[in-house]
């Protein structure tokens, strides 16, 4: 009797494991298919005997992506944009977030309320207005224009997320340092910033990932291919029913995704604490 119960339990567990293995495989099919196509030498796409393991292994598609297309140029553009956006975002958001967290001044609550409301506004909706405003200023089709748009769009999030984290740091530490005669600047640099490091890292990462993934402004505002970001470039490489090469596009997708995947899995734990403490979730 007891034996039979044990057997049944074991069979159930085996079924559960099988279920999850199948589920994981089904979930990963689009990614696995892209991987296999990108490594496959034969152009066997139109034949029906397809397998998830490439028949003839090759790196040609990757060579084509890295050296045949402008991807290195786009990578440079993206890196330049990302670094300037992260630097400006943090430089602008940290002092503001600190003031909103620690100081009390007229208009503070009104701004905080307005920020909550602004956060629900999808940026795509005002894109035309932004375009029309930036064009006479010569900021359309220029990197400075994109930096302005990206930092502005992420400014609400950065300010709110950092302020939320500053709120969780006890004030007592700063008060003690103040009694010892430290200036506000020293106090922020030596006490607050080191304590807020997780949140600063996560905020910077979110800006970085946003710039890395943003394609709609990048394709609408930039016309020359030499100014494209990675996202806009990949968008232009995609294989349609008519044109483009699916294996090259698959290889390019993998190349573009890898850095984001690495960052995501390295910072997974940070992500949760750095985001939840601020009270905002992506």
Partner 1 sequence: MSLKREKRRDNPRQKRLPSNAKQRKTTFWSYLCSAPSLILIGLVVVFPILYTGYISLTNMNVYHWFDFDIIGLDNYERALFLVDSGFLSALLATILWTIVNMVIQLVVAFVLASLLNIESLRFRKVYKTLLMFPWAMPGYVSILLWKTGMFNSQFGLLNQWMEKLGLEAVRWLSSDVSAFICCTVVNLWLALPFMIMIMDGALQSIDKSYYESAILDGAGWLRRTVSITLPTIRPIIGPAVIITVFTTFKQFDVVYLLTQQAGAKTGSHFHTLITYTYENAFITNNYGYSSAISILIFVLLLVFSWKFHLEEKS
Alpha carbons 266 and 130: distance in angstroms, whole number: 35
Query: Is 190 or 260 the residue whose CB approaches partner 1 more closely?
Result: 260
Only one residue has tokens 């890295």, namely 66
| Between 83 and 91, CB nearer to partner 1 | 91
Residues in 80-99 that interact with partner 1 by CB under 8 A: 91-93, 95-99
Of these, 11, 59, 72, 116, which contacts partner 1 (CB under 8 A)?
116
Q: Which of 1, 2, 3, 46 binds partner 1 (CB under 8 A)?
A: 46
Q: Tell me whether residue 30 or residue 224 sits nearer to partner 1 (CB atom).
A: 30
Residues 119-158 that bind partner 1 (CB under 8 A): 119-130, 132-133, 148-149, 151-153, 155-156, 158
Phi and psi for 57 in degrees, rounded to 5? -75, 135
| DSSP of 100-153 | HHH---TTHHHHHHHHHHHTTS-GGGGHHHHHHHHTTTT-TTSHHHHHHHHHHH
Angstrom distances, CA of residue 47 to CA of 44, 51, 55, 59, 128: 5, 11, 13, 21, 45
Contacts of partner 1 in 5-34 (CB under 8 A): 9, 13, 16-17, 19-20, 23-24, 27-31, 33-34
Span of 71-79, 175-183, 197-205, 231-239 interacting with partner 1 by CB under 8 A: 231-239
């Amino acid at each position: 009797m007891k034996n039979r119960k044990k057997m049944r339990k074991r069979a159930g567990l085996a079924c559960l494991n099988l279920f999850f293995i199948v589920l994981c495989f089904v979930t990963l099919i689009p990614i696995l298919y892209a991987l296999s196509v990108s490594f496959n030498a034969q152009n066997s796409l139109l034949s029906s005997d397809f397998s998830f393991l490439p028949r003839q292994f090759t790196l040609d598609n990757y060579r084509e992506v890295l050296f045949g297309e402008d991807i290195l140029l786009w990578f440079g553009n993206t890196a330049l944009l990302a670094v300037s956006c992260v630097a400006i975002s943090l430089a602008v958001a940290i002092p503001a977030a600190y003031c909103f967290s620690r100081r009390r001044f007229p208009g503070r609550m009104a701004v905080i309320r307005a920020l909550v409301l602004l956060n629900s506004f999808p940026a795509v909706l005002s894109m035309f207005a932004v375009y029309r405003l930036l064009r006479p200023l010569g900021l359309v089709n220029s990197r400075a224009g994109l930096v302005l748009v990206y930092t502005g769009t992420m400014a609400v999030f950065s300010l709110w997320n950092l302020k939320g984290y500053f709120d969780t740091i006890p004030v007592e530490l700063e008060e003690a340092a103040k009694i010892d005669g430290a200036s506000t600047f020293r106090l922020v640099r030596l006490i607050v910033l080191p304590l807020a490091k997780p949140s600063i890292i996560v905020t910077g990462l979110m800006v970085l990932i946003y710039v890395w993934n943003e394609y709609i402004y990048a394709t609408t505002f930039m016309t020359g291919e030499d100014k494209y970001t990675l996202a806009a470039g990949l968008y232009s490489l995609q294989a349609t029913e008519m044109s483009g090469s699916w294996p090259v596009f698959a290889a390019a997708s993998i190349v573009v995704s890898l850095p984001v995947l690495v960052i995501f899995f390295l910072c997974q734990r940070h992500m949760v604490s750095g985001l939840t403490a601020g009270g905002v979730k992506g």
